[in-house]
Chain A
Amino acid sequence: MSNSYTFYTSVEIVPTITVTPSATSIAKAQPLNLTVAVSGGGGHPTVTGTVSVYGGGYYPKVVRP
C-alpha cells in the first residue's frame, strides 16, 4: 500500500511596472498625465488589480488597470 501526494507549487511572478509621464519637467500649474502599464511578461495572463500613484504631495488615486 502506498500513498502518494501531488504538491502544486506556484511561483508568483513579479510583474513589470512601466510608468510613462506626459512630461518629465512641468510647472506646478501644469497637469501631468501618467500612463502605467503592468505586465507579467510573455505567455503569462493579463495582470489584473489596481495601481495607485503618490509622491510630491499628491494623494493616491487608485485605478484598476
Chain B
Amino acid sequence: MGNDLLTVVYESDYASLGTYTNNTGSIPVAVSSTQTPTVSVTPVSYSAIVSHPLSVTVAVAGAAGSPVPTGSIALNSGTYASSSVAMSGGSATIVIPANSLAVGSDTLAATYSPDTAGAVNFTGAAGISSAVTVTRKISTPTVTALPNASNITTAQALSVSVYISGDTGNPAPTGSVQLSGGGYTSATTTLINVGAKISIPAGSLATGSDILTANYTPDSNSSSIYNSATGISPTVTVTAAVKATPTVTMTPSATNITATQALTVPVAVSGGIGNPAPTGTVTLSSGSYSAQQTLVSGAASFTIAGETLAGGADTLTASYSGDANYG
C-alpha cells in the first residue's frame, strides 16, 4: 500500500536478439487500503402516489473487479427514515410505506455502512436518487345519507345524518354538504368531523316516496385530495298527517259584568296529554268585538275593555287557527 512502483522488464527472444536490447520501464501506482464504493438508489418509479408504498433498490459497488461490498444500508427522505437493512449480493430493497413521503419533489438518500468483512475493503458511503415526484391521488369519497326515520308524516320533522368517507391513509374529507329531494333543499352545511346533521322541518317533504340526495363539495383543504361526490338516502315515505282537533277552553273572569267593566278572558287550546302544545293563533269575538293573539304554550289571554260588549247576554266565541298538528 502507499505508492508502489511497478516495473516492466522486456527480454528479447531469439528472433529479436541482435536487433533489440533488453529494456525496463516503470510506472507509479497509488494503492489504498479501502475504497469508497458507489451507492446507487433506484426507486421502482420516479412518479409515486403518496398513499401508495414505494419500492427502492439500493446497490453498493466498488470499482470493477472489487469484491462485493457487505454490510447494511438505510434510506432517508424528509421525515422518513428506514431501519437498517442488511444487503445481499451488494444490494437491498426497501419498501417505503404509504404516506411516508412528502408530496412534491423528493430525493431518496441511502447510507452504506460496511460490516466487519466489508470494512476491510470499503469505507461507508452515501448516495441519492434522482428526484421522485410524489403526488396525491384525487379520489371520490363515499357519501352516506341516513334519515332517522323511514316513515314520517307531514307533521314530523326528519333528521338526516350525512357522512363523508375518504380513502384509507388520506386526510379526513373537509368541506360542506347540501341535501335535496322531495321538493326540499337544505342550506349548505359545513362538515364537522366528516359528518353533518341536517334537520328537515315538518311539512317540507312532499308526500309519497322521497329519496334525499346529499352533495359533498370539498373545501380548499380537500380539493386536491377529493372530488365532489353524491350519495342518496334510503327511501323515506311521507304521508299526510291527520290533524287532531284540539280542545278550546275559555274561562272569563266573570259571567256578569257592568257596561263599564272590563272582562279578562283566558283561552287555552290543548291537544291532550302527551301531545304537543298547539301553535298558531286564537281569535276571540263577540258581536262587533274581535281580537287575535298568538298562542304561547297553547294559551292566550284577552282583556275586553269596558263599554265594548253590548248590553244584555253576549256570547264569546274563541276560534283556533290550526297548525301542522291540529286542525
Contacts and interface: CB of A to CB of B under 8 A. Distances in A.
A42 interface: no
Contacts of B1: 28
Contacts of B65: 30-31
Contacts of B11: 49-52
B45 interface: no
A8 to B, nearest CB: 10
Interface in B1-52: 1, 4-13, 15-16, 18-35
Contact of B15 (A21, A26, A48, A60): A48
A40 B20 contact: yes
B281 to A, nearest CB: 102
B63 A30 contact: yes
Contacts of A58: 6
Which residue among A23, A48, A49 has the maximum number of chain B CB atoms within 10 Å of its CB? A49
Size band of the interface chain B makes with A? 35 or more
Contact of A55 (B22, B26, B120, B121): B26
Given A17-B10, A53-B7, A28 B30 contact: no
B10 A51 contact: yes
B276 interface: no
A45 interface: yes
Interface of B: 1, 4-13, 15-16, 18-35, 62-67, 120-121
29 contacts: A10-B19, A12-B19, A12-B20, A14-B20, A15-B20, A15-B23, A18-B25, A21-B29, A24-B27, A24-B28, A25-B30, A26-B32, A27-B34, A29-B62, A30-B35, A30-B63, A38-B10, A48-B13, A49-B20, A49-B22, A51-B9, A52-B8, A52-B9, A53-B6, A56-B5, A56-B6, A56-B29, A58-B6, A65-B10
Closest 10 CB pairs of A and B: A56-B4, A17-B25, A27-B35, A31-B65, A55-B6, A29-B121, A25-B30, A49-B12, A49-B13, A12-B21
